Amino acid sequence: MEIKEEQGFMANKTVLIVGANSRLGKHIVDLFIEANWIVFGTYSQKSKFPLSQVENFTPISMNLEKSKSINKGIKTTLKRSKSKLDLLINTSGVVYSGPIEAFSEEELRKQMEINFFAAVAIIQNVIPPMKKSGNGTIVNVSSLCGLTSFPLLSMYHASKWALEGFTESIYYELSSLGIKVKLIEPGGIVSDGEYAKVIKPKNTVEGYEKLTDKVHGTSWFPSFTEAKDVAYEIFKIATEETDQLRHQIGTETVAFIEERERYRKDETHLKMVKNRLNI
């Protein structure tokens, strides 16, 4: 997808993309490299970084479950960028799906550590240089699942609802410092025909087989958006000068949220989800 000058990017600015080796992250990295930004991208210590080395890209090793690793990664980024950071994009996330009674404490904590606490820790680290420069933008990639809920995704919802409330609060908090804060709320994402990986709990419990088949084995969810198209929207939103907080991506996101808002008071939207899944 060609990047055009009128879309609002400025060359030689610096961006840190957290989760750069995910399918979505790779597309975002490519767009910023093409736009001549100085790009730093984090990757897990357990995975190989697949992106080819280019002059304006630097991979940063970061384990999102370890605060020491997060602090070290941000410190390395700021050192190499000479404490200049114009934009942070938090894209990392994992999706645990299963009955809440099946999850171990370790799995519950991992869901929250990666999806929520890591984002908070990274933001705490990047505020000082942005505060010093008097500008900067923080973009948190949330989800449709941060705005509504479906069965078997309770902890994923918990992580994204937490991210939503946290981000809205710092939107007010950081505006006086000249720092913009934005939330991206995509629905289903697909990349080359593959859907996002869902992690199931190690423990198994009986009684949820039919519900699991309905949620993961049927086509009740209306549509999915290609990762490259979501990435392009994120690129545009992140580089715009607007002060808008929430940005929904995907027709399914708009449809579900409109349905929730329209029927929230009498809880009709709950019945609609149950009917859609035959539960």
String of DSSP letters for 82-137:
TT---EEEE----EE-S-GGG--HHHHHHHHIIIIIHHHHHHHHHHHHHHHHT-EE
- Where do the DSSP E strands lie in the chain? 14-18, 38-43, 57-61, 87-90, 95-96, 136-141, 179-186, 188-191, 194-195, 198-199, 224-226, 246-249
Domain range for 124: 10-251
Are the C-beta atoms of residues 19 and 91 closer than 8 Å to each other?
yes
pLDDT tens digits, one per residue of 202-259: 999 999 999 998 888 777 776 788 889 999 999 999 999 999 999 999 888 888 888 8
- CA distances to 1, 21, 59 from 35, rounded to whole Å, are 11, 19, 17
Do the domain assignments include residue 200? Answer: yes
Sorting pLDDT into bands at 50, 70 and 90, what band is 8? very low
Residue 261 lies in a domain: no
Quickly count helices (H) and strands (E) in the chain.
9, 12
Query: How many structural domains does the chain have?
Result: 1
Asked if residue 129 is part of any domain, the answer here is: yes
List the CATH number of the domain containing 157: 3.40.50.720
Does pTM top 0.85 for this prediction?
Answer: yes
Q: What is the pLDDT of residues 23-61, one digit of tens each?
A: 899 999 999 999 999 999 999 865 556 555 678 999 999
Looking at per-residue pLDDT, the higher value among 107 and 264 belongs to 107
pLDDT of residue 12: 82
Is it the case that residue 191 has pLDDT exceeding 90? Answer: no
Assess whether pLDDT exceeds 70 at residue 6.
Answer: no
Answer yes or no: is 238 within a domain.
Answer: yes
**Is residue 35 in some structural domain?**
yes
Counting residues of the chain whose pLDDT is more than 70, the rounded percentage is: 90
Asked, for residue 59, whether it belongs to a domain, the answer is yes
Assigned domain for 221 exists: yes
Residue 170, in any domain of the structure: yes
